[in-house]
Each structure stands twice: as C-alpha cells, then as structure tokens.
C-alpha cells in the first residue's frame, strides 16, 4: 500500500513530468534536450507503480517518442537514451508499450528509403531494438511484433554502415533465440538480405552474417537450406581464416541439430569436410573436433542400423597412412551413404575455371576418399576423368591433393576395380595426367594386391606409343610409374624385367634436357636391385639384345629425332661389356644407319657415338666372340666409304668422325685414304689422320711389317703438314714425325736414300729457326733422331745453315749432341 505522503509525492512528480513535457514545444533544441535529461532524473528518483507508468506513458508517449523525429541530432540522441532507459530499465513487461514504440522504430529505420540520416542514430535505434528483444525474450508479449522486427532487420542489414550490418546480424540471432517457435514463419525472408553481406569488405561483417545464416537455416524449410548452401560454400574460399572457421562451425551445428538434416547431409558435408584440410592449423583442429562430434552423434542416432558394424569393427588396414587418423564409424558411414551425390558434384567442380574452387575440391576429394574407403569403387567411373584433368592443373596444390587422393583410393579400392577403368584409357593413348593418377594408385596399393599385376601394367606402359615421348611432364610421371612398379614388383619374370628395361631406356634416350638430373642411368641400378641382379651391367647383358632386335626396323629411314634411333644410340653408349655380346645385331644396324643414303645428321651422330664407344674398346670387346669379323665389316663397308671426299660441312664432319673411329681399328687399306685426308679442308680431319698414321706405323712395327715403302709413302705428307696454317696440325705433325724416326727400317740408312734424309733435315732446319719455342724444341727432337740414324748428313747441314739461322744456340746444342754421340 502506498502511503498518503507517497501518493502526494507521486502526483507531484506526475504533474512535474507534464510540465517538463511542455518544454518540448520550445524552439530551442537545448531546452528540448534538457527536458529529456530532467525526465530521466524524475523517473529515476521515484518508484512509480505499473498503473502509474501506464497512466504517465499513455498521457505523454507523444512527447516521449516525438523526440526520435526531432530535427536536431543531439535531441534525437538524448531521446533514444531516455526511451531506452524508460522502456528497458523502468517499464514493466507489457505489449502495451511496444505498441507505441515499434511504429516509430519502423518509421525511422525500417523503411526502404532512409529516414534517419545519422548512421550513429540508426545504430543506437537498432541497439534499442536489440535490448527490447533481449528483455522480452521467450515471452508472449514479443510475438505480435515479430513481423515488425523482421521488417526492421531486413532494412538494417542492407544498410551501408558496416557496424549496423554487423549488429543487424547479431540481432537476427537474438530474435531467433527469443522466439524459437515462431521465427521459422519469417526466417526465410531474411536470407537474401543477410547473404548480401557475404561480400562485404569487413571480415567481421561476413562472420556475423554467416552466423545469422546459420541461425536462419536452423529454422528454415528446404527452400532456405537450398538458398543458403551455395553462398556458404563460396565463403570456403575466403582469405580470412575466422570466416572459414565459422562456416565449419555452422555446418557442424546444422548436421547435429537442424530438423531436416538427414535430407541435406550431402549438401552440408562439403562445408565441414573442407575445413579438415584448411591451411590454418586452428581451423583444421576445430573442424576435426566438430566432425568427430557429428560422427559420434550420427552413430548413436543410427545405433540399431549400425549394430553389426559396431560389433565387428574392421581392423585398420596394414598399409593405412601413419600420418592420418582413421575417422570414427559414424563419420565414415555418413560419407559412404552420401558418396554418390558427393562424387558427382566433385567431378564437376574439379574442372572449374576458378582456381580456388579446384584447390578446395581437390582437398575435399582427399577427405572423401579417406572416409569412403572401398565404397568409392562404384563412383570411380565418374571421378577419374575429372582427376585426370586436375592432375594436369597449373596450380601445384591441386596436383598434390589429387596425388594424395589417388594414393588413398589405391589403398582401399582393389586393383581389379580401378585398373579396369584406367588401363583401357591409357591403352587408347595417355597424357601425363593419366600417368600421374596411375603412379599414385600403384603407390597407395598394398604390395600384395598389385605385385602380380606389375607384369600386365608394365607391358602396357612399354608400348612404343606410350613410353616414347619427349614431353617433360609426361616423362617425369612415366618415371614415377616405373619407380612404383619396381617397388611393388616381387615376381622376377623375365618379360616383366624386359618391359621395365624398355621403359627406362626409352625415358633415358628421349629425356628432356631440363630434367637430365632427375633421369639418370642410376635407374638401371634400381632395376638390377628390383630383379635381384648383381649390377646394371647384368641388366644390360640380359635385356639389351631383345631391345636391339625390337628397334631394328628400317634403320635407313632414321633421323636424329627418331625414337628408335635414340634408343639404339643410348644402348651403344651404355651397354659396355654387353656390346660384345650383341655384335651381330649392332653390326647389322650400323651397316644401314651409316649407309651413304641415310640422313647425314644421323650418320654424323652415329659416328660420334661410335667413336665414344670405341674409346673403351678393351671393355666393349671383352666378351666378343667374332670381333675380327665385326671390325672388318665396319672398315670395309662403312669407314672406308665414309672417308671419301664429298662437298659440304656435314660431309667434313663425317669424315672427321670416321677418321676418329679408325684410331682404334686400322688396316693397310686405309693408308691411301689417310694420306689424302691429311689434305682435308677440316683441320680436325688432318690432325686425326696424322695420329692414325702414327698408330698404324706402331702396329706394323709391333708386327714386324714396317718397311721402307710405307715410310717413303708417309713421311712426305707429314713434312707438308709442317707448313699447315693451323698450329694444332703443325704441332701434331712435328710430334708424330719424331715417332716416325724411331724403329726406322735399316734400308733407310743406305746411301741410295741419302736424298730423302737430306730433304728431311733441310725441312726441319727451316722450322728449327721458327719463332715458336715449342716448334723449335720439337724440330730439335726430330733432328736428334735423324742424327742417330745419319750424323754425318745432319752435322754437314747444321754447319751450312748455322750462319743463316737465328737459332745459333740450338745449332750449337745439336752439334754438341752429335759430337757426344760420336764419342760414345
């Protein structure tokens, strides 16, 4: 009961309030603002009853609320503070007051046209609405005004002011929580306005918008779910981690509590599963925790259906990746029951033109493959074509994810299942995307599952149209296939070894220069280890003959870019001891390749390789049985015809390389050609021919067949080369001339050959006076050799030339040498 004194005080305050309200008629804004301050003080000092509040409000609400329409911003701001104080802190719960407040709120911030110009005032009005919703949460009094709230929020969320957008999204969540049974009636009308905030530049606005959409979808029908999914999925590509993390949180919430979630699992799954592979660790960790909860709840909700699987949980596969934790049964079943729809969507998006979408989809594929396990088998037909394309993506992140997903598929899906899909495609003509997937499938598959299949796979890959490619990425992925096959191989079938040998040789022969460090002959050693052989030499001895037989197809038509030509040349360089075991087939091929009708560049390259091979003649002919016949055929049918002069730079080079080969295989039939070659236009040909003549002389000396006729044929040509315009040739001629005067036939010292000796001495004396000290020294060495043979002639010539030469010191040394020799 209110005492009489208290009632008198209340009446006085009511009258005071009326007097204060009269000040709102003033033209002075300061007076109007002060009126609100006085009203707030008046309401603070007196405890009015509910009836008093109702009476005061009904008599003065026009004055209270009109301040929200005041022309002065400061007055409107003070009016909001007062109304907020009155409605939230003082007035009791009653829809009576809201009936007067909401129309003004709608008028100020709930219309399409902006009525309230001030962004700060609009924000304060929305904050006021937020406080009303909180105060009237879960009450019947708020229900009649839900539509008004929705109207206001639809407009505020579209406001340009970022803080207003952010708060609007928060208020939507509060409204849904305040009216959980009724919010669904108008929830979907908020979706489009809220989704428009997804593209806002402020990440906080985007985060709050995602939370608001999450709440709206919790109260929506299928239309709302469908409308929200695509925009939510697009935010998976947001650059801000907290945005992606919020997506995962909302997706997990839907999957656990949305009333129609079982109908939309296939749409919700990607939103959460993508977070499992997020770049940010905190997002990955939280996504895993949320996903674990979703799986456990699903497992509990379907306990009866999963009873058998729960009772007989399969052991983790032996080859299960150690870096990965196997998802719980609920998670796996949830994915497996929706796999067909997920796989279909993935196959479409993996080839999207947008890079971010391809990256996220490839990450999602890894997660789905890990959860689906063997249940993915029936969807590989749709997935593989998209995976082939994704494996060729320019973004390495996509390729890495596709490789990981393929390895997981190879682990769980039986070889017989995936091989029936991919191998026919490869047989039709593969690109490197096919090989990337194949290598990864093989790598992931347990050895016991694919060991027997190594033979069939390697046979397909060894086909010429598959293993012979010059594409760099193709070669690298074919190499991955070969390495994986060697790792999985445990059946030392001879054919399997040959197929692998052929692929390796083809890659080595055709490798791109940019990847020469990645593709080396160490592959032969790896193959030897795989086949339990001692070394790569044994590998080459076993398989090179079969491959040589295979490439022996129209060698006359070969060019330097022909695949079989490249393989043949590589085999010649690498066979080492196996070369001698294959002389018949090598000789037959060389006979055609080095034919004069063959492409000149191909002939030149073959000569070059052959010269390199003959440089190790002691090794290559170690196991040869018919070496003599092989060499005789080469000399007669190939080398001698190749030394005949023809015009052109290529012909010069061929003659040079042919002469180089002849450094190792020489015969008397070559002397005329070698002598003519000392006049060749190519200085290298001249130089090599002199070296060949010297070697030939040494061979004849060793066989005691070196005679005066041969000496008289050769030495004049060597003397001519002392005047060669190329210094290298002059020095070569002088060096080898000294060797020619060792082991001279005895007849050459007789009197009837004195003219020859004098010619040699006169020629050498001329070069003995050369400006080049090296030439002087070499000439001095040759003269000493001649002095031993005929010191009288040399002494006479030196004494005659001494007065004419500048190199008198050399002449004196030569005279001293002769005198010392005579004394001995």
- Per-residue pLDDT of 135-169, as tens digits, reads 999 889 999 999 999 999 999 999 999 999 999 99
HSE (side-chain half, CA atoms, 13 Å) at 292: 8
Band of pLDDT at residue 668, cut at 50, 70 and 90: very low
Cβ contact 571:524 at 8 Å: no
Q: Indicate the pLDDT class of residue 7, thresholds 50, 70 and 90.
A: low
Q: Which of 181-190, 440-449, 780-789 has the lowest mean pLDDT?
A: 780-789
Sorting pLDDT into bands at 50, 70 and 90, what band is 305? confident
Q: DSSP letter at 722?
A: G
What is the distance between the alpha carbons of residues 259 and 248, in angstroms, rounded to a whole number? 18
> What pLDDT, in 10s, does the model give residues 513-557?
888 888 888 999 999 998 888 888 899 989 999 999 999 988 888
Cβ neighbours of residue 401 closer than 8 Å, sequence gap 6 or more = 277, 359, 362, 363, 365, 366
Distance CA 254, CA 258 (A): 5
How open is the CA angle 51-56-59, to the nearest 5 degrees?
120
Residue among 233, 258, 259, 262 at smallest CA distance from 248: 233
CA atoms within 13 A on the CB side of 531: 26
Specify the pLDDT at position 116: 85
pLDDT tens digits, one per residue of 369-404: 999 989 999 999 999 999 999 999 999 999 999 999
Q: Which two tokens stand for residue 604?
A: 């030149």
Distance separating alpha carbons of residues 348 and 327, to the nearest angstrom:
26
User: Distances from the Cα of 471 to the Cαs of 414, 430, 441, 467, 529, in angstroms?
Assistant: 31, 12, 22, 11, 28
Tally of CB atoms within 10 A around 159: 18
Lowest mean pLDDT among 332-336, 696-700, 718-722: 696-700
Q: What is the CA radius of gyration of the chain?
A: 49
Cβ atoms 20, 63 nearer than 8 A: no
Q: Which residue has the tokens 């995307």?
A: 433
Predicted confidence band of residue 287 (pLDDT cuts 50, 70, 90) = very high
Contact 444, 407 (CB under 8 A): yes
Residue 669 banded pLDDT, cuts 50, 70, 90: very low
What rounded mean pLDDT belongs to the chain? 85
What is the per-residue pLDDT for 667? 46
Judge whether residue 2 has pLDDT over 60.
Answer: no
Q: What's the chain's length in residues?
A: 824
Q: Could you tell me if 302 and 282 are in contact, meaning their C-beta atoms sit under 8 angstroms apart? A: no
| Structure confidence at residue 5 (pLDDT) | 63
User: Which pair of tokens denotes residue 671?
Assistant: 């002397």
Look at the block and give the residue holding tokens 């391809």: 358
Structure tokens at 445: 């598959």
Look at residue 311 in the predicted model and tell me its pLDDT.
Answer: 60
Q: Please report the pLDDT score of residue 460 as a whole number.
A: 94
In this predicted structure, what is the pLDDT of residue 195? 94
Q: Is the pLDDT of residue 112 over 80?
A: yes
329-336 vs 261-273: helix crossing angle, rounded to 10:
110
Q: pLDDT per residue over 178-190, tens digit each?
A: 999 999 888 899 9
Integer Cα distance of 579 and 590 in angstroms: 13
Task: Measure the CA–CA gap between 311 and 374, rounded to whole angstroms.
Answer: 20
């Amino acid at each position: 009961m209110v005492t009489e004194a208290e009632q008198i005080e209340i009446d006085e305050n009511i009258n005071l309030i009326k007097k204060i309200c009269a000040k709102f008629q003033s033209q002075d804004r300061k007076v109007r603002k002060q009126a609100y301050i006085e009203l707030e003080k008046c309401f603070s000092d007196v405890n009015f009853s509910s009836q008093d509040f109702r009476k005061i409000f009904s008599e003065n609400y026009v004055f209270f609320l009109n301040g929200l329409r005041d022309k002065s911003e400061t007055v409107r701001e003070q009016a909001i503070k007062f109304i907020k104080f009155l409605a939230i802190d003082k007035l009791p719960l009653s829809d009576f007051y809201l009936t007067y407040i909401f129309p003004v709120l709608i008028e100020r911030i709930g219309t399409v046209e902006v009525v309230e110009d001030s962004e700060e005032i609009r924000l304060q009005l929305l904050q006021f609405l937020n406080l009303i919703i909180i105060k009237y949460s879960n009450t019947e009094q708020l229900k009649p005004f839900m539509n008004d709230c929705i109207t206001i929020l639809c407009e505020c969320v579209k406001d340009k002011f970022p803080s207003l957008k952010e708060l609007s999204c928060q208020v939507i969540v509060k409204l849904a929580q305040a009216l959980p049974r009724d919010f669904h009636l108008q929830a979907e009308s908020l979706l489009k306005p809220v989704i428009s905030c997804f593209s806002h530049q402020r990440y906080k606005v985007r985060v709050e918008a995602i939370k608001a959409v999450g709440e709206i979808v919790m109260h929506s029908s299928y239309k709302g779910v469908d409308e929200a999914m695509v925009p939510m999925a697009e935010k998976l590509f947001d650059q801000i981690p907290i945005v992606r993390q919020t997506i995962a949180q909302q997706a997990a919430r839907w999957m656990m509590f949305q009333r129609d979630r079982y109908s939309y699992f296939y749409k919700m799954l990607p939103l959460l599963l993508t977070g499992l592979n997020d770049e940010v660790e905190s997002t990955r960790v939280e996504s895993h925790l949320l996903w674990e909860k979703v799986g456990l709840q699903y497992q509990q909700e379907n306990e009866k259906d999963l009873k058998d699987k729960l009772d007989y949980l399969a052991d983790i596969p032996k080859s299960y990746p150690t870096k990965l934790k196997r998802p719980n049964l609920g998670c796996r079943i949830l994915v497996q029951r929706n796999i067909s729809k997920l796989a279909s969507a993935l196959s479409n998006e993996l080839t999207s033109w947008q890079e971010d979408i391809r990256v996220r989809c490839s990450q999602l594929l890894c997660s789905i493959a890990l959860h689906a396990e063997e249940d993915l088998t029936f969807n590989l037909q749709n997935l593989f074509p998209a995976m082939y394309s994704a494996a060729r993506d320019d973004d390495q992140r996509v390729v890495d994810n596709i490789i990981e997903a393929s390895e997981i598929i190879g682990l769980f899906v039986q070889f017989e299942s995936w091989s029936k899909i991919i191998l026919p495609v490869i047989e039709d003509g593969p690109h490197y995307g096919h090989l990337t997937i194949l290598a990864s499938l093989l790598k992931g598959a347990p050895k016991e599952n694919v060991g027997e299949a190594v033979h069939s796979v390697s046979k397909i890959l060894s086909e010429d149209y598959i293993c012979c490619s010059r594409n760099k990425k193709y070669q690298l992925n074919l190499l991955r296939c070969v390495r994986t096959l060697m790792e999985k191989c445990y059946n030392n079938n001879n054919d399997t070894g040959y197929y692998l040998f052929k692929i390796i040789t083809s890659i080595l022969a055709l490798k791109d220069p940019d990847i020469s460090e990645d593709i080396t002959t160490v592959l032969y050693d790896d193959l030897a280890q795989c086949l339990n052989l001692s070394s790569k030499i044994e590998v080459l001895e076993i398989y090179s003959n079969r491959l040589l037989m295979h490439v022996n197809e129209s060698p006359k038509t070969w060019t330097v870019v022909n695949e079989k030509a490249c393989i043949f040349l590589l085999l010649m360089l690498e066979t080492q001891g196996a070369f001698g075991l294959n002389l018949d087939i090598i000789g037959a091929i060389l006979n055609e390749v080095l034919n004069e009708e063959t492409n000149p560049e191909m002939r030149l390259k073959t000569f070059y390789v052959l010269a390199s091979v003959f440089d190790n003649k002691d090794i290559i002919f170690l196991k040869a049985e018919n070496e003599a016949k092989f060499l005789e055929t080469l000399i007669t049918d190939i080398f001698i015809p190749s030394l005949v002069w023809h015009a052109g730079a290529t012909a010069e080079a061929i003659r040079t390389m042919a002469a180089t080969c002849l450094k190792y295989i020489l015969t008397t039939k070559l002397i005329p050609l070698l002598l003519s070659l000392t006049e060749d236009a190519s200085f290298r040909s001249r130089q090599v021919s002199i070296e060949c003549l010297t070697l030939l002389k040494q061979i004849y000396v060793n066989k005691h067949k070196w005679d005066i006729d041969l000496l008289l044929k050769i030495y004049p040509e060597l003397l001519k080369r002392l005047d060669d315009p190329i210094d290298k040739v002059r020095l070569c001629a002088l060096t080898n001339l000294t060797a020619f005067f060792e082991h001279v036939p005895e007849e050459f010292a007789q009197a009837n050959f004195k003219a020859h000796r004098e010619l040699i001495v006169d020629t050498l004396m001329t070069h003995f006076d050369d400006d080049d000290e090296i030439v002087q020294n070499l000439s001095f060495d040759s003269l000493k050799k001649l002095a031993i043979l005929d010191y009288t002639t040399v002494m006479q010539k030196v004494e005659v030339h001494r007065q004419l030469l500048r190199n008198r010191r050399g002449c004196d040394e030569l005279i001293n040498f002769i005198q010392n020799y005579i004394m001995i």
